[in-house]
């Protein structure tokens, strides 16, 4: 069994590809690969905090109505109930992980 759970993700232009990396009783970690123009629509989690780790490229992160470009390596914390999302405005794919805790199940 390999210890590394990081998948090989290859999104096309405008596409978002995701994969669950860790699913536990109290945490969910997903990887999102955003092709150029790909977007994770703004949403919120009332019962959980969410942390983005930008691991490849750069994404424009939306948090509570504010937008900021975050380059790898970058970390963005979203408090419970705060709307958040991300989009790739570059010409290259970008990858981030999103950690949701506690996992509402």
Tell me the pLDDT tens digit for each residue of 46-87: 999 999 999 999 999 999 999 999 999 999 999 999 999 999
Task: Find how far residue 44's CA is from the centre of its chain.
Answer: 13
Q: What distance, in Å, lies between the first and last C-alpha atoms of the chain?
A: 26
When pLDDT is cut at 50, 70 and 90, the band that residue 6 belongs to is: confident
pLDDT at 104 over 80: no
What is the C-alpha separation between 88 and 70, in angstroms, rounded? 10
pLDDT at 91 over 70: yes
What is the C-alpha separation between 90 and 21, in angstroms, rounded? 25
Which residues make Cβ contacts (< 8 Å) with residue 79, sequence separation at least 6? 49
Tell me the pLDDT tens digit for each residue of 9-30: 999 999 999 999 999 999 999 9
pLDDT at 1 over 60: no
pLDDT at 100 over 90: yes
Structure tokens that stand for 57 in this block: 């490229």
Which residues make Cβ contacts (< 8 Å) with residue 18, sequence separation at least 6? 9, 30, 31, 32, 33
Which structural domains are found in the chain, ordered by start?
Answer: 23-100 (2.60.120.10)
């Amino acid at each position: 069994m390999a210890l590394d759970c990081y998948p090989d993700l290859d999104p096309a232009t405008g596409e978002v590809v995701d994969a669950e990396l860790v699913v536990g009783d109290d945490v969910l970690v997903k990887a999102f690969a955003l092709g150029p123009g790909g977007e994770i629509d703004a949403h919120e989690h009332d019962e959980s905090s969410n942390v983005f780790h930008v691991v490849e490229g750069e994404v424009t992160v939306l948090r509570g109505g504010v937008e900021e470009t975050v380059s790898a390596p970058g970390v963005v914390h979203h408090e419970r109930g705060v709307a958040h999302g991300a989009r790739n405005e570059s010409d290259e794919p970008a990858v981030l992980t999103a950690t949701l805790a506690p996992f509402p199940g």
